[in-house]
Amino acid sequence: MSVTAISRQFHLASRPGGAPALENFKLVERELDAPSEGQIIVRNLWLSVDPYMRGRMVDRSSYIPPFGIDEPMDGAAVGIVEASKDEKFAVGDTVSHFAGWRDLALIEARSATRIDSAAPPQSYLGPLGIPGLAAYAGLLSIGEPKAGETVFVSAAAGAVGAVVAQIARIKGCRVIGSTGSEDKARWLTDEAGIDAVINYRQVNDLSAALAKAAPQGVDVYFDNVGGDHLEAAINAANDFARFPLCGMIAQYNGEPSGPRNIYRAIEKRIKLQGFIVTDHLGLWSDFQRDVGQWISEGKVKWTETVVDGFENAPQAFVDLFSGKNTGKMLVRLADAEDSRA
Amino acid sequence: MSVTAISRQFHLASRPGGAPALENFKLVERELDAPSEGQIIVRNLWLSVDPYMRGRMVDRSSYIPPFGIDEPMDGAAVGIVEASKDEKFAVGDTVSHFAGWRDLALIEARSATRIDSAAPPQSYLGPLGIPGLAAYAGLLSIGEPKAGETVFVSAAAGAVGAVVAQIARIKGCRVIGSTGSEDKARWLTDEAGIDAVINYRQVNDLSAALAKAAPQGVDVYFDNVGGDHLEAAINAANDFARFPLCGMIAQYNGEPSGPRNIYRAIEKRIKLQGFIVTDHLGLWSDFQRDVGQWISEGKVKWTETVVDGFENAPQAFVDLFSGKNTGKMLVRLADAEDSRA
């Protein structure tokens, strides 16, 4: 590499009021220093864009600091080591790390994880990455599904939801998923093998649709959506139901609304519990072992929506909120295209 | 007693649309049979009226069957055995049981519990009865308060709330209560010894008032109210806060509303868990031992609002929803009045 490596990176230009828009992002070029001892330079192949990043675009304290205005954004990414000042990484290694939203990243080596696996590298941004761990930890630790129970998952064709749905099937549950298009519905039934799908855009009364799809009631509701989905799940819940709360994408951009039937959580003894994936990093090796095996056995499948070109990352992010993705939304950089099989 | 004992009893005349009203009740006289083997007749001294009974006035399946139209209502009561066909009970025994809303009750002996205690008998409808167990079980099993943490309890001067507040103090917590009158606020600080009180009728912004009263945030919120209290508690919650959901009196009569900030339960990893006291009957003997001791040591105090006269039971119930009671709302029957010390 040249001595004056240039990193193209997206900075936060402004904070969104409602839905995020392209104007909230600014593409900036920065000269990178040469790596110091313990640092590596990574050329990114794949970038992750995720709904939770919407929360980081507003200036409010949370479990993760907000993005700063005119500062680089970050997020999960996979790339190839291009320069290394750390003995644990060699040039050419594939690594996952958290310096996304840029094409070339100078990072501390200890923040990177080498990928040694037959699985495609971008799966470490999906079922074998943070979305997969969110599904695994939330469903198993909080949802505690038992064989024969009914599991309802919203955004079931999304990066997290699809893994939730398939793990629930593996655990012997009846699985109902909601999604917003017929294509996604087909993938869920034909590929992921779940028992029933609700296309929420085609039903007037989500509670009625869920009651019909879950005649025995819902024991676990894995919430990625909030809003009317959460209300419908409370209505359909059996006594002692467990609701892992993973995301509420319906609440992020507009006027938030609460579940008006929350009082029914008392009579039904529902447990609603929010969680953040980074609280469950202790499950990482169990998760890699189990989901890796399920993938190799064909029991966990995934799908991804690939947007080509680094400069299209903001559009890919914006499109998350209108449900344009099936499965994980990924941005593929030119170098990944060049290296396609 | 005469062979043809007459029981005066309240039947459900109609189901309330909004707030319950006197017209929903009908006073009826019924001739009682003589007790069969295993039955007793109890002359009630004290009747309990409780907010949860509102739920039983509507025709909807729940954890407890709804009251039937033109059928007798029931609920907790304390009385004196007047006739016994069961060897475990003698005439003159004081018992607590569930055939309330009537002056004279013919019941299965196995559904009654003899009271042998120096505590006043009506305390078995309050701190030593179901409200006390709700406080004990919900706070300790779900809330899991640790010394030094902050506990917020709504309806803190109510039958459940006052016990929650004082147990939380005993456990070394800082305790903030909300209530709706200055008299109740005074009782909470001067008698129950809690750290801070919010009179919700005197604040415009409950979230701001709670933030001020709980500068270190809220670790446990014991919900008796729902609505704006639940929203304020979510706003004030610390990471990993626990919310035992015991009742939502603000939601029972009007148009229910959900906590619009429920999505913050994710980033804060809040656990909201509904519970029903009868799921926790296994704690009964621990509860009697602990709360009995705390009462005898003066660490748990209680207050009660007494309405005299059986015929005033519906009014006492209706008054619950405008907060006319401080502490447990009780109906005292003529025989209890006659037997006052």
Question: Do residues B220 and B240 touch, judged by C-beta distance below 8 A?
Answer: no
Minimal CA separation from A152 to chain B, in Å: 18
Q: Which stretches of chain B are DSSP H helices?
A: 53-56, 130-137, 161-170, 182-186, 206-213, 227-236, 264-267, 284-296, 313-320, 334-338
Residue with tokens 């105090």: B301
Q: Where in chain A is the domain with CATH 3.40.50.720?
A: 130-280+289-294
d(CA B42, CA B195): 42
Q: Across the interface, do A263 and B248 touch by the CB < 8 Å criterion?
A: yes
Q: Which chain A residues are within 8 Å of B273, Cβ to Cβ?
A: 265, 269-273
Tell me: the pLDDT tens digits for A293-316? 999 999 999 999 999 999 999 999
Tell me whether strands A113-114 and A104-108 are parallel, antiparallel or unpaired.
unpaired
Q: Where in chain A is the domain with CATH 3.90.180.10?
A: 6-126+304-338
pLDDT of residue A1: 47
Pick the CATH number of B130-280+289-294 from 3.40.50.720, 1.20.140.10, 3.20.20.70, 3.40.190.10: 3.40.50.720
**Average pLDDT rounded to a whole number, residues A6-18:** 95
Q: Across the interface, do A272 and B269 touch by the CB < 8 Å criterion?
A: no
Burial of B23 (0-12, 13-18, 19+ CB in 10 A): exposed
Tell me: the pLDDT tens digits for B228-266? 999 999 999 999 999 999 998 877 677 788 999 999 999
The ipTM, to two decimals, is 0.89
Chain B residues within 8 angstroms (CB to CB) of chain A: 55, 62-63, 226, 230-231, 239, 245-248, 251-252, 255-263, 265-276, 279
**Structure tokens belonging to residue B40:** 């007793």
pLDDT of residue A93: 97
pLDDT of residue B1: 47
d(CA B337, CA B341): 9
Tell me: the pLDDT tens digits for B102-142? 999 999 999 999 998 888 999 999 999 999 999 999 999 99
d(CA B221, CA A148): 34
Determine the topology of domain A6-126+304-338 in CATH: Quinone Oxidoreductase; Chain A, domain 1 (3.90.180)
How many helices (H) and strands (E) would you count in chain A? 10, 15
**Cα separation values, B333 from A256, B28, B47, B163, B306, Å:** 49, 16, 8, 25, 10
Tell me: the pLDDT tens digits for B21-74? 999 999 999 999 999 999 999 999 999 999 889 989 988 877 788 999 999 999
Within 10 Å of residue B51's Cβ, how many Cβ atoms? 21
DSSP class of B307: E
Residue with tokens 């099937």: A169
Q: Which residue of A has its CA nearest to B56?
A: A267
Confidence band for A120, pLDDT divided at 50, 70 and 90: very high
d(CA A136, CA A120): 20
Percent of all residues in chain A with a pLDDT value above 70, rounded to a whole number = 96
Question: Do residues A49 and A313 touch, judged by C-beta distance below 8 A?
Answer: yes
d(CA B283, CA B260): 35
DSSP class of B16: -
Q: Which chain B residues are within 8 Å of A239, Cβ to Cβ?
A: 63
Pick the CATH number of B6-126+303-338 from 1.10.15.40, 3.40.50.1970, 3.10.450.50, 3.90.180.10: 3.90.180.10
Percent of all residues in chain B with a pLDDT value above 90, rounded to a whole number = 86
DSSP class of A111: G
Residue with tokens 């007494």: B306
Start-to-end Cα distance in chain A: 24
Which stretch of A24-38, A302-316, A324-338 has the lowest confidence by average pLDDT? A324-338
Confidence band for B340, pLDDT divided at 50, 70 and 90: very low
Question: Do residues A173 and A142 touch, judged by C-beta distance below 8 A?
Answer: no
Residue with tokens 């025989």: B335
Give the 3-state secondary structure of residue B215: coil
Q: Where in chain B is the domain with CATH 3.90.180.10?
A: 6-126+303-338
Q: Across the interface, do A252 and B270 touch by the CB < 8 Å criterion?
A: no
Q: Across the interface, do B266 and A258 touch by the CB < 8 Å criterion?
A: no
Nearest to residue A70, comparing CAs of A11, A25, A21? A11
Q: Is the pLDDT of residue B306 over 80?
A: yes
Which of B222, B229, B266 to probe by mutation at the A interface, max A CB count within 10 Å? Answer: B266
Give the 3-state secondary structure of residue A12: strand
Q: Which stretches of chain A are DSSP H helices?
A: 53-56, 130-137, 159-170, 182-186, 206-213, 227-236, 264-267, 284-296, 313-320, 334-338
Q: Out of A231, A245, A262, name the one closest to residue B259 (CB).
A: A262
- The residues, any chain, with a CB within 8 Å of residue A177's CB and separated by 6 or more, are A152, A153, A154, A156, A157, A161, A165, A188, A192, A194, A196, A197, A198
Question: Do residues B47 and B34 touch, judged by C-beta distance below 8 A?
Answer: no
Q: Is the pLDDT of residue A250 over 80?
A: no
d(CA A219, CA A175): 10
d(CA B196, CA B214): 9
Nearest to residue A127, comparing CAs of A289, A280, A274, A301? A301
Give the 3-state secondary structure of residue B10: strand
pLDDT of residue B293: 95
Minimal CA separation from B270 to chain A, in Å: 5
User: How far out from the chain centre does Cα B117 lie?
Assistant: 21
